[in-house]
């Protein structure tokens, strides 16, 4: 067996920043910290912080007044920020800057009177946060067929934004249909799908065609990880999305000469290496790391964690 280990894979700059935010907050404030939703969509990461005492919540009402609260990498709506302020929560914003960019674009288009079409997946944390910036002016579409249901007039001002973790091909099909229906539709000067999502998909496109099996490390609720699995399957490989080595099944690799291994942008490297080590031990695999693109992006910690610490008032 030969293992093609994709590079780039795993953590992107936004995920790195969010995790570093939570680690820095623990160091500064202790482990009595709350996070609104999962800090990133990865079971291994969330479980690690849960064991340290961090509590992940889905409602601001579940956070005691005056507590420390982190907003996850996926961003939150203005309503969540308002609820946090009313409860006198000390908030740290770990939103990925690329998600913040989409929020700011939504605000700008809304202020300029546009009808905003958001391409994304209903219920995803990032989509919920973005739509919250201008709920009366944003329509969500998930497929080209959804575009056909939009009722804007030819004279209406229309613009589109995209969730940052979409499949490039998936988004392109919807954007093409938008341009057919609304030739005057506008979009930001720089696309919203993040560099890391694009790079990891490019690696799958290049390597999956030579693989009998593709293993994607990532959680089932990770949008970008699921897109990698779907993309690999579309290239003709047997593709599996797993959280850890424990989920690998021996019969997946029967008669497999080449296995590609990659990881979604929220999956830590430790789980990748555990899976690769398992393939080496069990099947005598050799490993070739294939670099398809280099990444050198880094995001600084938010201001709240760069400034001198203030004393925390007892609750």
CB neighbourhood size of 143 (10 A): 13
**For 36, how many CA atoms within 13 A lie in the half-sphere containing its CB?**
32
**Is-catalytic flag, 126?**
yes
Q: Residue 105: CA atoms inside 13 Å, Cβ hemisphere, count?
A: 25
Report helix, strand or coil for 152. coil
Mapped onto helix, strand or coil, the DSSP state of residue 283 is helix
User: 62 vs 36, 70, 74, 123, CA distance in Å?
Assistant: 10, 13, 19, 20
The tokens for 270 are 């430790």
Which residue do the tokens 């910036």 mark? 133
Exposure of 201 by Cβ count < 10 A (0-12 exposed, 13-18 middle, 19+ buried)? buried
* Catalytic residue (one of 126, 133, 170, 230): 126
Residue 152, both tokens: 């804007």
DSSP per position, 185-236: -B--SS-SS-HHHHHHHHHHHHHGGG-SEEEEES-TT-HHHHHHHHHHHHTT
46 Rama sector, left if φ>0, alpha if ψ -120 to 50, beta otherwise: alpha
- Residue 314 has, within 13 A of its CA and on its CB side, a CA count of 0
Helix (H) or strand (E) holding 97: helix 97-111
Residues with catalytic roles: 126
């Amino acid at each position: 067996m030969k293992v093609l280990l994709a590079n780039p894979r795993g953590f992107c700059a936004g995920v790195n920043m969010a995790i570093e935010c939570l680690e820095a907050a623990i160091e500064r404030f202790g482990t009595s910290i709350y996070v609104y939703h999962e800090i990133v969509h990865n079971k291994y990461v969330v479980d690690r912080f849960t064991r340290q005492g961090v509590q992940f919540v889905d409602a601001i009402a579940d956070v005691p007044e005056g507590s420390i609260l982190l907003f996850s990498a996926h961003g939150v709506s203005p309503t969540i920020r308002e609820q946090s302020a009313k409860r006198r929560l000390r908030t740290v914003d770990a939103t990925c800057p690329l998600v913040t960019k989409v929020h700011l674009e939504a605000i700008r288009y809304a202020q300029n009177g546009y009808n905003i079409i958001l391409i994304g997946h209903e219920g995803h944390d990032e989509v919920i946060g973005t739509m919250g910036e201008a709920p009366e002016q944003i329509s969500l579409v998930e497929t080209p067929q959804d575009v056909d249901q939009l009722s804007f007039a030819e004279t209406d001002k229309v613009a589109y934004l995209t969730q940052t973790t979409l499949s490039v091909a998936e988004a392109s099909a919807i954007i093409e249909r938008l341009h057919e229906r609304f030739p005057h539709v506008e979009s930001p000067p720089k696309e919203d799908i993040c560099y890391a999502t694009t790079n990891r998909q490019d690696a799958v496109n290049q390597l999956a065609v030579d693989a009998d099996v593709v293993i994607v490390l990532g959680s089932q609720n990770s949008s970008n990880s699921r897109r990698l699995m779907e993309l690999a399957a579309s290239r003709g490989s047997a593709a599996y999305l797993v959280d850890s080595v424990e989920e690998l099944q021996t019969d997946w690799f029967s008669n497999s000469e080449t296995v590609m291994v990659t990881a979604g942008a929220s999956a830590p490297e430790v789980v990748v290496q555990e899976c690769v080590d398992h393939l080496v031990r069990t099947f005598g695999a050799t490993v070739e790391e294939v670099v398809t693109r280099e990444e050198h992006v880094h995001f600084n910690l938010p201001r709240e964690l760069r400034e001198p610490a203030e004393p925390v008032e007892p609750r």
